[in-house]
A and B are shown apart, each in its own frame.
Chain A
Amino acid sequence: MTALLETPSATVDRTTPAASRPRRAVSRLADAVLTGLGKVVAVAALLVVWEVAPRLGLVDATFLPPFTTVAVSWWDLLVSGKLLDNTQASLVRSLSGFGLAVAAAVPLGLLIGWYKPVATLLSPLLEVFRNTAALALLPVFVLLLGIGETSKIAIVFYACTWPILLNTISAVRAVDPTLLRLARSMDLNGFRLFQKVILPAAVPTVFTGIRLAGALSILVLVAAEMVGAKAGLGYLINASQFNFAIPQMYAGIITLSAIGVLFNQVLVGLERRFTSWRVPVGA
């Protein structure tokens, strides 16, 4: 049986016969619609509970106003331009810190991962920094760099660096040794080896780090903006709470979640594009 399958002509039955292709496409479309529907239903249910619970007095409407109240407040913020200004301030900081971290940590990680002595030398330092929560260092950053943009971008940069760096290092070290032997047997030079073997093999693990960093960039920034800032979504949320503008506070929080989800989706999409060759999990 297997011997027959071995000859390619007999393996044609593995490829999709043309006749069943439309039916498959239909069922796949139906699947996609169903999962999409499921997600919409879950979000809708959450919003309904949020709307109904304060109105029924199950929670205090002062502290958790109904969703529609928050939505109106969000619209007001949008129209007044405050929402865009603050979002823009946050995004610039997040993306700068994140972008700098990617630009610095990926090459550095490749280098450290490849040169074993460097890795051995630096590993205790990496261990220490990795286990020091970025937020614990926030006061230090403020002391050294003030409360301006520099310290905020710096702390995002700092927080994003570690997951990317550590993932890149382990990505390089985990490259399949038989591929390295293959490259060596073909007498590839160091540059070609890096370009054609190490780099592509490392991409999936590096991307995992980048995705983690993406989530961190928003988390850390918001905390930093709450501590000391004159603009940004973290500032907006904190200031609203301080001024008892509770619906506005929730409007800020919603915006933040939406940005988080969006950012993650973009990164996941990029990851898919770059790692489409990977064995589909669960397929």
Chain B
Amino acid sequence: MSAHIAFRGVSKRFQVKVRGSRQHSEFTAVDTVDLDVERGEFVVLVGPSGCGKSTLLDLLGGLTEPSEGEILLDGRRITGPGLDRGIVFQQYALLPWRTAQGNVEFGLEATGVPRRHRAERAREFLDLVGLTGFEDRHPHQLSGGMRQRVAIARSLAYDPQVLLMDEPFAALDAQTRESMQDELLRIWQRTGKTVVFITHSIDEAVHLGQRVVVLTSRPGRVKETVAIDLGDRTRQEDPRSSPEFARYRHRIWDLLHDEVSRAQQQEKEVVGA
């Protein structure tokens, strides 16, 4: 049959107020995107900032509706949010009044998991993300990387088919970021989830993705899809230093380069207007 996730001619337009007048004008954020994602695949979307990456993820998460086209999940049209998709936000979105354990249980409470099983399940998932011993900490007592681990555990706990991640490591320092990337690959391999991951970092894209989808600057279209084959990425010594890695990085850099300068040009025009 068809793909696990299928974008079919998806466009998203926003109504924006024209400055200094009462009129509205239409603004295209995402333009006729076609994209298939297989079950269990790790797909990374890269593109210059403002090109509509988050908009695409919102559409997939059912938080907004496409202006045109449709998104299919296992052949069924997405009409709203659901627990078959779990979103991991850049700002963690942890409930500050709950402990790490409580935050993971929050994910379970939305599902039918009976109360007496929740604590145990939550501990399992905290263990999966390497946070055993930190169950009783509140978010403000955890480092940025640990907070994002809690958020990932929360999303995994209610067992979605797809994990949607919107620049989840962007707020972390470089080293934490790399260790989180390795951790995520390990979790992905263990759980077999489909992951749609957004980033504007080329290194991150090459390191994580089985396929990297390069988007154009505004309005966002699919420019090109690059299949990445680095072998088993979790086994190598330092996969980021291999010659293939450099080749992929250069390839995507080339693709992005024009788009980034075009995006900057657009920003200048907006400021100048």
Q: List residues of chain A with CB under 8 Å of any chain B CB.
A: 1-3, 5-8, 11-12, 176, 178-179, 181-182, 184-188, 192, 196-197, 200-201, 203, 275, 277-279
In whole Å, how far is B84's beta carbon from the nearest beta carbon of chain A?
Answer: 10
Q: Given contacts A6-B180, A278-B96, are A178 and B110 in contact (CB under 8 A)?
A: no
Interface residue range, chain B:
35 or more
Residues of A within 8 A of B145 (CB): 6
Contact of B89 among A1, A3, A178, A192 (CB under 8 A): A178
Give the distance in Å from the alpha carbon of A275 to the alpha carbon of B140 in the complex: 13
A182 touches B93 (CB 8 A): yes
Q: Say if the beta carbon of B52 comes within 8 Å of chain A.
A: no
Q: Which of A178, A179, A277 has the most chain B CB within a 10 Å cutoff? A: A277
Q: List residues of chain B with CB under 8 Å of any chain A CB.
A: 61-63, 80-83, 85-87, 89, 91-93, 95-98, 106-107, 109-110, 130-134, 138, 140, 143, 145-146, 158, 173, 175-176, 178-180
Give the distance in Å from the alpha carbon of A203 to the alpha carbon of B179 in the complex: 36
Give the distance in Å from the alpha carbon of A1 to the alpha carbon of B106 in the complex: 32
Q: Which of A5, A12, A186, A197 has the most chain B CB within a 10 Å cutoff? A: A186
Residues of B within 8 A of A178 (CB): 89, 91-93
B131 touches A3 (CB 8 A): no
B109 touches A196 (CB 8 A): yes
8 nearest A-B pairs in the assembled complex, by CB-CB distance:
A3-B175, A182-B93, A277-B97, A178-B93, A279-B140, A185-B87, A187-B81, A6-B145
Q: Chain A: which residue is nearest B129 at the CB level?
A: A8
Give the distance in Å from the alpha carbon of A190 to the alpha carbon of B109 in the complex: 15
Contact of B179 among A3, A201, A279 (CB under 8 A): A3
Contact of A7 among B98, B130, B140, B178 (CB under 8 A): B130
A196 touches B89 (CB 8 A): no
Could you list 16 A-B pairs, sorted by A, with CB under 8 Å?
A: A6-B175, A6-B179, A8-B130, A8-B146, A176-B93, A181-B63, A181-B87, A184-B63, A185-B61, A185-B63, A186-B158, A187-B81, A187-B83, A196-B109, A278-B140, A279-B140
Residues of A within 8 A of B82 (CB): 187
B110 touches A186 (CB 8 A): yes
In whole Å, how far is A273's beta carbon from the nearest beta carbon of chain B?
Answer: 12
B110 touches A2 (CB 8 A): no
A196 touches B87 (CB 8 A): no
Give the distance in Å from the alpha carbon of A171 to the alpha carbon of B151 in the complex: 24
A187 touches B87 (CB 8 A): no
Q: Given contacts A8-B130, A187-B82, are A179 and B175 in contact (CB under 8 A)?
A: no
Give the distance in Å from the alpha carbon of A8 to the alpha carbon of B140 in the complex: 16
A185 touches B176 (CB 8 A): no
Contact of A185 among B81, B130, B179 (CB under 8 A): B81
Give the distance in Å from the alpha carbon of A192 to the alpha carbon of B87 in the complex: 19
B89 touches A181 (CB 8 A): yes
In whole Å, how far is A130's beta carbon from the nearest beta carbon of chain B?
Answer: 28
Residues of B within 8 A of A192 (CB): 110
Task: Give 15 A-B pairs besides A8-B146, A185-B61 with Cβ atoms closer than 8 angstroms.
Answer: A1-B175, A3-B178, A3-B179, A6-B146, A8-B134, A12-B133, A178-B91, A179-B93, A181-B89, A182-B89, A184-B81, A185-B62, A203-B97, A277-B138, A279-B96
Give the distance in Å from the alpha carbon of A278 to the alpha carbon of B80 in the complex: 33
Give the distance in Å from the alpha carbon of A8 to the alpha carbon of B180 in the complex: 12
Give the distance in Å from the alpha carbon of A8 to the alpha carbon of B150 in the complex: 12
Q: Given contacts A182-B93, A187-B110, are A5 and B61 in contact (CB under 8 A)?
A: no
Residues of B within 8 A of A187 (CB): 80-83, 110
Residues of A within 8 A of B83 (CB): 186-187
In whole Å, how far is B190's beta carbon from the nearest beta carbon of chain A?
Answer: 17
Give the distance in Å from the alpha carbon of A186 to the alpha carbon of B95 in the complex: 14
